[in-house]
Structure 1
Amino acid sequence: MTPKNLLLFALTATVSFTACNNKPADKPVKSETAPIGSAALLSQPLSAVTGSWTGMFEPDGSDSTAGLANKITVFIAQLADGNISGYSVCAGNERPFSGNYEEQKGIIKATLNEPGNNKYDGVFELEINKENKNLTGKWTPFNKALTGRHYTLERKNFKYDPSEGEQPNASARLLSANDVNNLLKDELRYMRNEIYARHGYSFKLKEVRQMFDSRDWYMPVSTDVRKKLTPIEVRNEKMIKNFEKYAEESYDDYGR
């Protein structure tokens, strides 16, 4: 038996015994907060204002200290009697906000404060045009050392679609060792994280966020998707993780 066949045999034999606490490269963690209405907003029909809006969270300024754009989803949960509340999901953080609004000629203007107990909290100032359904505005951090952001968000409801992405087989069917045996570590990592991305996982690690933020189908809606994975995805995630480990340990002769 050749060395490569010995490796393939060892991998196949160990996949079913992978420990249940294997951690993904960017672990889907439980969110720090549970804003009111978060579960309902993911499934409710889009109304005139309440619901979800998504797009890029762009840094103000063009110098290297301004940081990178991240995809953000803003959820408007309640809007009545001049009061507005909801939450945002961005870069692995889920943060509630609340404040006041006024409406004139179909334009809603609101100022929304995050709690202030997180170093990345700040104030959203936004406008919603009820006629053309645009949500635009700026975000100012409480921490003056951080860079402000601006955004133009699209009206959109999240929908899980197992056919999205470059490696949809990881969600569609059980993978075999032959499906992943010759993939490099970075390819395996992308395949595994794409499973989470299809469920709207908001990645905390910058290098993983950059894999998906530019994808039209990707919409960050949660900081914990572990219970949303299908049985097929759970098994495939464990297999891919196991092959990632061997790809790193056997770099010189693996994936050639």
Structure 2
Amino acid sequence: MKYAYPVTLLCLLLCFSCRPKKTPAKTDAAAVRELPPELHTDLYGNWVGDFISISGEEPDYEDVARINIRLTRITAEGVEGRSVVKGNDRPMKGALTVTGNKYAFVMDEPGSDRHDGRFEFFIMGDTLKGRWKAYKATEVKNPVKEFTLVKKPFRYNANLMLPEDWEYVDYENGRMQTELYTNEDGTVDTSINKVYRAASEEVYKLNGSASELTEKQLKNLKKLDLEIIRNTIFARHGYSFKSKGVRQFFDQVDWYVPVTNNIDGALTGMEQKNVALLQRFEKYAQDNYDSFGR
């Protein structure tokens, strides 16, 4: 019995030595080193400007939206980015060709949405210029767009306001109004005119991101006033609006950069409270319609 322990110990040592050795897990640092190096990072960021429909070969300036082409990763293996326009936030991938100081890109959206397509553009200096073509040209109203963009940083700023020298008229949602008028000879004729609703000066005075709004401030406002004040809160967070009726008030604002179609969790507590109050007043507010020149 006195030899049992050495024999047992020898068997255990042999068993452990025969076990297959585990390959040590790669460290995060090693995994990072295996990624291809990023190139031309100075091109990263938001490239923002007008997304203009092409009718035939001519630009259709009645159909314009603000687009953001955001470049997020460039390597020798390819390019990644996103397109944000008209409430759509789509990933895209492609390739880059560099010739001198010209960077030419071909970028494809996934194709799972009927509004997806191919972007072909180039960057020279501080300008990005190109065209987009829909994959499903027969399923969209305007299958070809062109754009000339400049780089714009996005920073949330609660104090951003709409320009004071603009005319805030809802030209996208006019309606026909019939009016009767009496001629000099006493006969009565009918006049049919298109009329629109207009906002008051309160849209560039009340800030729902910087201070808590009160019922007293809102109770006499027009419905359009309330809508614009509420949507300005969303615009400060870079929300991309789908409705042209809303986009008409923000697409030409210099500070507005559409970066996302989802701002869940982005609003401050005060902004959430103000949005709820504005929506409550919108339900019962009215608008005055009048004739305006464009």
Q: Give the count of matched residue pairs.
A: 203
Q: Distance in 2 between matches of 1:176 and 1:144?
A: 49
Bigger CA drift: 167-176 or 218-227?
Answer: 167-176
Q: CA RMSD in A?
A: 2.2
1:214 matched to 2:252: yes
Name the SS of the counterpart of 2:42 in structure 1. Answer: coil
Q: Which amino acid aligns with 1:54?
A: V
Cα deviation, residue 85, structure 1: 1.2
Q: Which runs of 4+ in 1 moved over 4 A?
A: 62-67
CA contact 1:199–1:228 (8 Å) conserved in 2: yes
CA contact 1:162–1:168 (8 Å) conserved in 2: no
1:154 matched to 2:150: yes
Name the SS of the counterpart of 1:171 in structure 2. Answer: coil
Q: Distance in 2 between matches of 1:65 and 1:149?
A: 9
Larger Rg: 2
CA contact 2:131–2:146 (8 Å) conserved in 1: yes
Structure 1 residue aligned with 2:51: 57
> Greater helix share, 1 or 2?
1
1:99 matched to 2:94: yes
TM-score between the two structures when normalised by the length of structure 1:
0.74
Q: 1:224-235 residue pairs with structure 2 within 5 A?
A: 224-235=262-273
Q: 1:34-53 residue pairs with structure 2 within 5 A?
A: 47-53=41-47
1:83 matched to 2:121: no
Q: Distance in 1 between matches of 2:255 and 2:209?
A: 15
| 1:107-136 superposed Cα distances (whole Å, 9 cap, x missing partner) | 11111111111010100001012xx22111
CA contact 1:82–1:102 (8 Å) conserved in 2: no
Q: Distance in 1 between matches of 2:273 and 2:117?
A: 40
1:137 matched to 2:120: no
Change beyond 3 A, Cα 1:103–1:91: same
**Percent identity (aligned):** 33
Q: Distance in 1 between matches of 2:251 and 2:68?
A: 11
Q: Distance in 1 between matches of 2:126 and 2:60?
A: 32
Q: Distance in 2 between matches of 1:50 and 1:96?
A: 15
CA contact 1:84–1:98 (8 Å) conserved in 2: yes
Name the SS of the counterpart of 2:279 in structure 1. Answer: helix
Q: Distance in 1 between matches of 2:92 and 2:282?
A: 39
Bigger CA drift: 191-200 or 56-65?
Answer: 56-65
CA contact 2:41–2:74 (8 Å) conserved in 1: no
Q: Which amino acid aligns with 1:98?
A: K
Change beyond 3 A, Cα 1:89–1:64: closer
Q: 1:1-256 residue pairs with structure 2 within 5 A?
A: 47-61=41-55, 68-129=63-124, 132-145=125-138, 146=140, 147=142, 148-165=144-161, 166-167=204-205, 169-247=207-285
TM-score between the two structures when normalised by the length of structure 2:
0.65
CA contact 2:78–2:96 (8 Å) conserved in 1: yes
Change beyond 3 A, Cα 1:159–1:111: same
CA contact 1:167–1:194 (8 Å) conserved in 2: no
Q: Which amino acid aligns with 1:153?
A: L
Q: Distance in 2 between matches of 1:96 and 1:87?
A: 4
Name the SS of the counterpart of 2:249 in structure 1. Answer: helix
Q: Distance in 1 between matches of 2:61 and 2:136?
A: 14
Q: Distance in 2 between matches of 1:168 and 1:198?
A: 14
Cα deviation, residue 246, structure 1: 2.1
Structure 2 residue aligned with 1:9: none
Q: Which amino acid aligns with 2:211?
A: R
Q: Distance in 2 between matches of 1:234 and 1:67?
A: 34
Larger relative contact order (CA 8 Å, sep ≥ 6): 1
